[in-house]
Amino acid sequence: MAQVIYAYGSTEVTIAAADSIAVYAPGSAQVYLRVGYPNAPATWSLIGTVTGGQTVFGAYASGAVVRIDNISEASVSYATGTAPVVAINATEKNAQGAPTAMTTAASITPTGLLSRIITGTHTAGATVAYTLPTGTVLDAGTDIDVGQAVDWVLINLSAAALDTITVTAAETHTIVGNPIVQSAHSSTGGIYGNSSQWRTRKTAANTFVSYRIA
């Protein structure tokens, strides 16, 4: 479960051996690693600044202690683990990290889904499948509770009319609505639209439904 650092707050986090830390900052946060030298007090080394998105630091083979300084008014969230992800609160209207870019047929990762914007560009000459993460994978990669949901958008930037994208269901992750997203060609997406909006809802442990809502 993600932890929160409120406006201009700071916290130290102990990371277990082999774990990483994910830091999500709608505004901006600075992340420091505690380092020690023989016969000298421990000091803090800046390892990154997170602005308008999420960054994962680590893994740390022997564990580590990091300090997160929230240097903005928006709350910062963090989570630790072997593959940590901070679920983006859908009410944070102004928070948007870099979109996830996809090309050939592939699986959508939890991180990609939580980036909230996915772009697809391919030249297959036929539809390609973008497969949703399984319920188990998505449950492990997010902190979404039963009855909660996350909204995301898939934009098909492919040029040819036949280069559609089909959003494909996975184990314990089903789809409600039209799974095909038209390309940007003037005869298809240029008329009907080449973007789709989805709401992915957790209905039970390891179980999700993605509804196409636009």
pLDDT by residue (tens digit) across 1-31? 678 898 889 999 999 999 999 999 888 899 9
Per-residue confidence (pLDDT) for residue 98, from 0 to 100: 83
Per-residue confidence (pLDDT) for residue 145, from 0 to 100: 81
Alpha-carbon gap, residue 22 to 112, rounded angstroms: 14
Q: For the purposes of burial, counting CB atoms within 10 Å of the CB of 193, is it exposed (0-12), middle (13-18) or buried (19 or more)? A: middle
Q: Is the pLDDT of residue 64 over 90?
A: yes
Q: What are phi and psi of 137, to 5 degrees?
A: -65, -45
Alpha-carbon gap, residue 115 to 61, rounded angstroms: 27
pLDDT by residue (tens digit) across 113-162? 988 899 999 999 999 999 999 999 999 888 788 888 888 999 999 999 99
Asked if 153 contacts 88 with a C-beta cutoff of 8 angstroms, the reply is no
pTM over 0.85: no
Alpha-carbon gap, residue 90 to 62, rounded angstroms: 35
Q: What are phi and psi of 110, to 5 degrees?
A: -55, -40
Q: What SS3 string covers 37-52?
A: CCCCCCEEEEEEEEEE
Alpha-carbon gap, residue 28 to 49, rounded angstroms: 7
In the chain, pLDDT over 90 holds for what percent of residues? 67
